[in-house]
Amino acid sequence: MALARRAILIVLLVAFTFPGCSGTWSGVKQDTQAAKDYTYEKKDEYRSRLEYQLLELDAKTEELKGKAANASESVKREFDKDMSELSRQKAVLNQKLESVKSSSAAAWEDTKAGAESAWDSVKRTYERAKARFQ
């Protein structure tokens, strides 16, 4: 019985000591929504940064094409496969960038995740092609 009274006493003590805690979950939800709103507000900045990175990658790819011109035939064949794959992946990334431009706040997190996934695929393929010359 003493244990039950002690438990009740602790619960009451906590309830009176921390009266604002009952709203903690709603506070977390509000903070999460505020973070999503903030990142959505930065979507134009995100899109611009991604477009700039894509332009940098295009310049680096041109350098690789110059190296490929002096490579063996087998390396050229593999490099050409990489470039075809890179071209396909960049087309997907460009579609994702268009989605970023027109994304609503409700769809922003999914749109951003899709763009990041497409960018990761592009980077991996570029790195594979680059590794052929190291």
Min mean pLDDT across 3-17, 24-38, 52-66 is at 3-17
pLDDT at 116: 95
Judge contact between 121 and 89, C-beta under 8 A: yes
pLDDT at 120: 96
Return the residue matching tokens 């991996």.
124
Residues 62 and 77: their CA atoms lie apart, in Å, by 17
Return the residue matching tokens 């929504």.
33
Report the predicted TM-score, pTM, of the whole model to 2 decimal places: 0.69
In the predicted model, what is the mean pLDDT of residues 121-130? 95
Residues 100 and 113: their CA atoms lie apart, in Å, by 10
In the predicted model, what is the mean pLDDT of residues 101-122? 93
Residues 103 and 114: their CA atoms lie apart, in Å, by 12
Query: For all residues of the chain together, what is the average pLDDT?
Result: 82
Say which DSSP state 71 is in: S
pLDDT at 43: 86
Return the residue matching tokens 């894509």.
54
In the predicted model, what is the mean pLDDT of residues 116-130? 95
Say which DSSP state 1 is in: -
Q: What is the pLDDT of residues 47-101, one digit of tens each?
A: 999 999 999 999 999 999 999 999 999 999 999 999 999 999 999 999 999 999 9
Which residues, at least 6 apart from 76, have a Cβ–Cβ distance to it below 8 Å? 68
